[in-house]
Amino acid sequence: MEVPKKLVNSVAGCADDALAGLVACNPGLRLLQGHRVVLRADLAAIRGRVALLSGGGSGHEPAHAGYIGKGMLTGVVAGAVFTSPAVGSILAAIRAVTQAGAAGTLLIVKNYTGDRLNFGLALERARAEGTDVRMVVVGDDCAFAAPKKAGRRGLCGTVLVHKVAGALAEAGASLNEIVEKVSAATKAMGTLGLSLSPCSVPGSKPTFQLADDEMELGLGIHGEAGVCRMKVLPADEAVETMLAHMTDPSSASRLPLSPGASVVLVVNNLGGLSCLELGIVAGAAVRRLESRGIRIARALVGSFMTALEMAGVSLTLMLVDEELVGLIDAETTAMAWPNLAAAPATSQRQEVPAPKEGPETVQHETSTGPGAARVQLVLERVCSTLLDMQDKLNELDRAAGDGDCGHTHARAARAIQEWVRARPPPAASAQLLSALADLLLEKMGGSSGVLYGLFLTAAARPLHNRSDLPTWADAIDAGVEAMQRYGGAAPGDRTMLDSLCAAAQALHALRNPGADLLSVLATAVQSAEAAAEATRQMEAAAGRASYISSARLLQPDPGAVAVAAVLRAVLEGLQS
């Protein structure tokens, strides 16, 4: 197993470099000389108030230094990655806040042996110097059903403790009062993690291994083992599994959660989960809690206490009353605390009504005459052509795109087929093109759908009042111009425009008196096919292909090939 890549300067200096970067970008923070300690820049502001210190190993960013600020922590003591901080540095932080005039100091410590020992020893030494220091140990892990001698691990709920204690301290509460209220809050809180991947300390191999189809429930924030491994579940089922485990009546670490209870919910990214996945999990958590009759007084979603790059999530629930919600809502300048709305979370928010169609919107009238039959025949020919060449277009697209050009055009073809079979197409040319534009914009997807939609929408305008052959030439020019204006491509850029512009140029012959539609269209088709083949020799200047070396583009552009094929299908449909 290889050591994963890390974007660091050195393994030994990564914790110091991370803190230095944080302080450099935040004027409200200062490093304590000679120590891996970060403090509020305005230490004088804590005179007469209780100081709050926390910390632990690095690798959990933004915890804990991201929570320093007015209304939260006074300072943080950091260790190396996943390593408890040094006793000397903890003691130095206590001395710094004491000398700044703090009315006592509270140490907020996650329940890990190293943290308890080091913070505890520093506390004893500070007390020996006459300092008023207390310590609250946070253990919010709901993973283990049977009690462990070491107690419950400290997880993301610690961040809520920072916030509650910080709001109390800022309001002028005494050290005893803060300890009492924070201790009560920690007893009414639970957290459970779920991971899809391990994490790795810089310079080391991953802390554990998971099969591609596995997830682990109940693991710690350093990669410690959880309670079980299971096959990867859909997000809704995974969240239900987590909540059921957290509230299992037979578990010694359960969080008692009864219908009617109010909670603060934290959906925490363990480091490597995408924001998209996090949003899905958050929505599932809200729905599942609501189904249990739980009121979600506040919801925090983001990265609050991570485990390096672990792709996973933890859910934290804190039972709250009005006082606790007020403390959660209290103002803070801590950079990592979210701009939290002072309102409950709910999946039942009323949607904004869809806007009504504008007054100029014309209903697409249908027709059952011979013209409509001809249009239907042409559209069916276009659709069958695109479906037949789906694999070919995908293969062409793999060299320069994401290999889905055929899928995209096939999706459009199937949508048109369903539409035509459901009702006769509109009678008027402008209405036909507008209806097709609406359909492709909704169903086709990708940039191709937008480009075809642009072309058809713009081409429909000249055809509103007349649809003779010269006007059709004007319509094609209008569509091409719109694609160039908004798409940014031009002939020679190796795009669908190469075929379309070549055809448009040939279709100018429709403006000639006595022009024959089929003859002119046949010439336009030949021009489009020649232009599509010519893209084989072009260097891409627009679209995804522009990021690929021209030496690798040995095939014609799939979009240009598709346009030429569509034009030939139109010609064959009109000839039949």
Q: Is 406 annotated as a binding residue?
A: no
Catalytic, out of 35, 64, 162, 222: 222
> In which residue are the tokens 């694609």 written?
483
Strands 295-302 and 312-319: unpaired
Task: Report d(CA 447, CA 445) in Å as an integer.
Answer: 7
> In which residue are the tokens 């940039």 written?
447
The dihedrals phi and psi of 379, each to the nearest 5 degrees, come to -65, -40
Q: What are the structure tokens assigned to 563, written together?
A: 């346009």
Please name the amino acid found at residue 450.
Answer: V
Sheet with 262-269: strands ordered across: 228-231, 214-217, 189-195, 312-319, 262-269, 295-302
Q: What is the four-CA torsion angle of 515, 519, 521, 526, rounded to 10 degrees?
A: -140
35 given a catalytic annotation: no
Q: What are the structure tokens assigned to 152, written together?
A: 């419950």
Return the beta strands (E) in 239-328 as ranges: 262-269, 295-302, 312-319
- In 3-state terms the chain splits into helix, strand, coil percentages (rounded to 5) of 45, 15, 40
Q: How far is CA 158 from the centre of its chain?
A: 24
Q: Is 260 annotated as a binding residue?
A: no
Report the run of H or E that residue 189 belongs to, with start and end: strand 189-195
Task: Report d(CA 75, CA 96) in Å as an integer.
Answer: 10
Q: Is 575 exposed, middle or buried (0-12, 13-18, 19+ CB in 10 A)?
A: exposed
Task: Report d(CA 456, CA 478) in Å as an integer.
Answer: 9
Question: CA distances (Å), 60 to each of 3, 15, 403, in order?
Answer: 20, 11, 39
Residue 38 pairs with which residues in a beta bridge? 31, 76
Sheet with 51-58: strands ordered across: 29-31, 37-40, 75-81, 51-58, 105-110, 133-138
Q: What are the structure tokens assigned to 68, written together?
A: 């320093």
Q: What are the structure tokens assigned to 103, written together?
A: 């009315």
Q: Is 121 exposed, middle or buried (0-12, 13-18, 19+ CB in 10 A)?
A: middle
Q: Is 402 annotated as a binding residue?
A: no
Q: Is 71 annotated as a binding residue?
A: no
Binding-site residue set for substrate: 57-60, 110, 115
Binding-site residue set: 57-60, 110, 115
* Residues taking part in catalysis: 222
